[in-house]
Amino acid sequence: MNKTGKIYIAGHRGMVGSAILRKLKAEGFSNFILKTSDELDLRNQQAVNDFFAAEKPDYVFLAAAKVGGIQANNVYRADFIYENLIIECNIIHAAFVNKTEKLMFLGSSCIYPKLAPQPLKEEYLLTGLLEETNEPYAIAKIAGIKLCDSYRRQYGCNFLSVMPTNLYGPNDNYDLEKSHVLPALIRKFHEAKIANQSEVEIWGTGSPLREFLHVDDLADACYYLMQNYNEEGLVNIGTGTDITIKDLALLVKKIVGFEGELKFNSSKPDGTPRKLMDVGKLHSFGWKHKIELEQGITMVYNNPETIKKFGTANLIS
């Protein structure tokens, strides 16, 4: 990436987009065009076309997406497929029309087949049925990857896709109805500690395995690949190790200092039993994560912004 190039980060206020912005600033980039969703509605094709025609960004990071945890994906199914599809179509096509030099699209590990062999290699995409709770989201994200590959093959666009595992870090969502498991657990254990509660509810059986990557590591990998990778297909970004939800809960409990019990609610869905990334391709390029899980969760919990974010977000048991 040329240091003076114009960079558009779609979704720069979200957890992923804000981490990419921090990383690029730290690397000395300064020519950003950033728009909030009030200033530019990415679902509006004309607005996106006008924006790209006026700004002609050299580099695009497509980190804007409708995202959420297992319950939000399952409940807001139409919003998840529609909003993600239309955002991807609008931005990727406008980047092609306006000759964006390089675009990075972010997928997600939950779009691999539900029962694919583990660890998940990049070539397992589209080899089996998807997890039911997030099928609409997965279909939209798979379409985004295929958009990048198709514009590359037909028109020679340098559009690439990366596949992050479950992420956490600054600017996460702590709404207990819509969030992912890690922010939910940090909030639940913290509030239970303050209220002297005897137990904390954990959704599902606690047996599913998940892999977690700090978003600053993700941003580092995205930057690395934006500099060094120019191919069709995708690249997994993760740590290559996973943990059961039960052990994750015990770890968060220890970091937060909650002394009560865990109570598993098996009426809530478990989702995919396991989705561990094979990070061999990424490691072969010379990149490896730096922030281990316990260290990362401690950093998040000790950040004063985290508890402020609990705010008035929904509280459900």
Residues in contact with ligand GFB by CB under 6 A are 69-71, 73, 108, 110, 133-134, 137, 166, 179-181, 184, 202-204, 208, 210, 245, 268-272
Cα–Cα dist 63/14, whole Å: 8
Residue count of the chain, please give it.
317
Cα–Cα dist 201/264, whole Å: 6
Nearer to ligand GFB, 91 or 138 (CB): 138
Q: Which residues contact 266 (CB under 8 A, 6 or more apart)?
A: 204, 205
In terms of DSSP bridges, do strands 243-244 and 209-210 run parallel, antiparallel, or are they unpaired? antiparallel
Residue 136, preceding peptide bond in cis (omega within 30° of 0) = no
Nearer to ligand GFB, 102 or 180 (CB): 180
Least CB distance from residue 130 to ligand GFB, whole Å? 10
Least CB distance from residue 243 to ligand GFB, whole Å? 11
The residues carrying an active-site annotation are 137
Least CB distance from residue 179 to ligand GFB, whole Å? 6
H helical segments located in 164-292 = 181-194, 215-228, 245-256, 280-284
Cα–Cα dist 41/38, whole Å: 6
Nearer to ligand GFB, 210 or 214 (CB): 210
Nearer to ligand GFB, 71 or 239 (CB): 71
- Residue of 219, 174, 183, 201 whose CA lies nearest to 311: 174
Residue 237 forms beta bridges with which residues?
Answer: 164
Nearer to ligand GFB, 43 or 66 (CB): 66
Give the amino acid at 259. Answer: E
Q: Which residue is nearest to ligand GFB (CB)?
A: 69
Cα–Cα dist 161/184, whole Å: 28
Chain centroid, CA 243 distance in Å: 18
Least CB distance from residue 182 to ligand GFB, whole Å? 7
Give the amino acid at 244. Answer: T
Least CB distance from residue 204 to ligand GFB, whole Å? 3
